[in-house]
Amino acid sequence: MTSTKGGVDLYDAVIIGAGPAGLTAGTYLARFRRRVLILSAGPSRANWIPRSHNTPGFPNGVGGPELLRRLIEQAAQFGVEIRDARADRLQLADGLFQLSGAGGMVHARTALLATGVVDRLPDIEGLEAAIRRSVVRMCPICDAFEAIDARIGVMGDGGLAEREAEFLKDYSDRVSVIGEKAGDVSFTQTAAHWAGQDGTEQTFDHLYLALGCKAQSALALACGAKTDDDGNLVVDDHQMTSVEGLYAAGDVVRGLNQIAVATGEAAIAATAMHNRLRDDG
């Protein structure tokens, strides 16, 4: 493991993002005996998950905070350094990645973006608490099974809301689409109540948000990485972006925002990073 180069403190790999993808990649790289730093880059989106029942290995489900706690514990067990610091700038200079931000300057031979996405949320009082109670939901793929035969609302305008509603009709025949600005929403402990501007009212057991999200790819873009038409980072079969030595995994890469996908991509990326480091000597 290289620790210095030209007098510079050097990591084999720096990972931006401490969600399931970043923490999994960190554990893999540490077990490959690489010197690894993870920058938290803010709270993980997974922290909002009340309980996931489609995460492999948890037949009774697992909450996001508990899953993250376990992943952090596992990474730390193998010596991964984790800093609660945000990276503001990423650049490639003299064959090394340089990250600067609140945590100071970091130099690394390879880098992995696991920064995820930011959901577009409506301005509704009590929204975050309703998400944590599973009254408001973000992902039909994750939890539609738990909404079988329930009263379901899908908030959104346009194609995304219509597609999610069609998907959810496999689970319930009581699915309605409501416009983001077409009425007011309030929450009880167990339901969402919608009062439409046309005088109609509906109560939903679950309200799904279909308002889209934005990939947090600014660091990679500033470094020259390419994105697709939806703003997701383009990667090869080994999760490397169009910038040599810069990898990406998880929600920042593709629209299928799933824990299992993120951890799988992280394993692929970490293995490729290790092999690249080994080939470079």
Q: What is the pLDDT of residues 110-124, one digit of tens each?
A: 999 999 999 999 999
Calpha distance 35→10 (Å, rounded): 8
Do 92 and 168 have their domain in common?
Answer: no
Q: What is the pLDDT of residues 5-22, one digit of tens each?
A: 555 689 999 999 999 999
Domain end position, chosen among 209, 235, 268: 209
Classify residue 50 by its DSSP letter.
S
Q: Regarding predicted confidence, which is higher, 136 or 87?
A: 136
Average pLDDT over residues 35-54: 90
Do 101 and 131 have their domain in common?
Answer: no
CA distances from 264 to 40, 60, 62, 191 (A): 20, 21, 18, 35
Q: Which residues contact 211 (CB under 8 A, 6 or more apart)?
A: 119, 120, 121, 122, 155, 156, 160, 180
Q: What is the pLDDT of residues 202-223, one digit of tens each?
A: 999 999 999 999 999 999 999 9
pLDDT at 63: 94
Q: What is the pLDDT of residues 59-95, one digit of tens each?
A: 999 999 999 999 999 999 999 999 998 889 999 998 8
Do 67 and 187 have their domain in common?
Answer: no
Domain end position, chosen among 185, 209, 233: 209
In the chain, what percentage of residues exceed pLDDT 70?
96
Q: Into how many domains does the chain fold?
A: 2
Owning domain of residue 181: 121-209
CATH number assigned to the domain comprising residue 234: 3.50.50.60
The phi, psi pair for 221, rounded to 5°, reads: -60, -40
Do 42 and 81 have their domain in common?
Answer: yes
Do 33 and 109 have their domain in common?
Answer: yes
Do 39 and 150 have their domain in common?
Answer: no
Question: CA angle, 117 as apex, 111 and 118 as ends, to 5°?
Answer: 135
Do 176 and 268 have their domain in common?
Answer: no
pLDDT band at 102 (very low <50, low <70, confident <90, very high): low
pTM value is 0.92
Do 80 and 217 have their domain in common?
Answer: yes
Domain end position, chosen among 163, 183, 209: 209
Question: Mean pLDDT highest for which of 42-46, 61-65, 197-201, 227-231?
Answer: 61-65
Do 114 and 130 have their domain in common?
Answer: no
Do 91 and 125 have their domain in common?
Answer: no
Do 218 and 103 have their domain in common?
Answer: yes
Do 103 and 239 have their domain in common?
Answer: yes
